[in-house]
Structure 1
Amino acid sequence: MGLGGCIILIAVGAVLTFATDWHMKGVNIPVVGLILMVVGVIGVTTFSSIARRRRIVVPPTPVVEGKPDHHRLDGYSDGYGA
């Protein structure tokens, strides 16, 4: 389940807990909403910890110090030689 699914679970759970006044025999709707919200929060934390581990760290490029080789006097390196 991705991040979007977890957020949808949290939203549906909040609606069931706080915005409905349905009464079903044998089912406590606010408790079902709380369970959905808890599962959504667990999913978000799991998803974020897995995403943090997947980050790729690129090592810095080593700096090569040396004399530049673009000032040769052979007549061809300046683009005009023939």
Structure 2
Amino acid sequence: MRLGTAIVLLALGAILTFALRVDVSGIDLQVVGWILMIAGALGVVLELAVWGPRERRTTRDDAAPARHRTTEERY
């Protein structure tokens, strides 16, 4: 789950929990909203904890030892 998806889940869950006052038979929209907010919060935490502290990969060129090239991996 990416950061944008997690934020969308948080927002959608907050809307279902706090903004809607609709009765649907067989489903409690407030509980669904809380579940979506928990999933979104977990997604934000995991995104920042796992993908946030990415290390930059530095490579050396033997021809010019004083120059370093920095490359970043993008997903």
TM-score in terms of structure 2 length: 0.71
**Displacement of 1:41 after TM fit?**
0.3
State the one-letter code of the partner of 2:25.
K
Q: State the identity %.
A: 40
Q: Which runs of 5+ in 2 are unaligned?
A: 59-75
Deviation at 1:27, TM superposition (A): 0.3
- Output the CA distance in 1 between the equivalents of 2:15 and 2:52: 30
What is the distance in 1 between the residues matched to 2:56 and 2:19?
A: 42
Structure 1 stretches of 4+ with a deviation exceeding 3 A read none
Counterpart of 1:56 in structure 2 is 56
Q: What secondary structure is seen at the aligned counterpart in 1 of 2:21?
A: coil
Q: How far 1:57 moved relative to its partner?
A: 6.8
Q: Report the Cα distance in structure 2 between the residues aligned to 1:52 and 1:6, rounded to whole angstroms.
A: 14
SS of aligned partner of 2:55: coil
Higher strand share: 2
Alignment match, 1:36? 36
1:77 aligned residue: none
Cα distance, 1:23 vs. partner?
Answer: 0.5
Give the RMSD, CA atoms, in angstroms: 2.0
Q: How many residues align?
A: 61
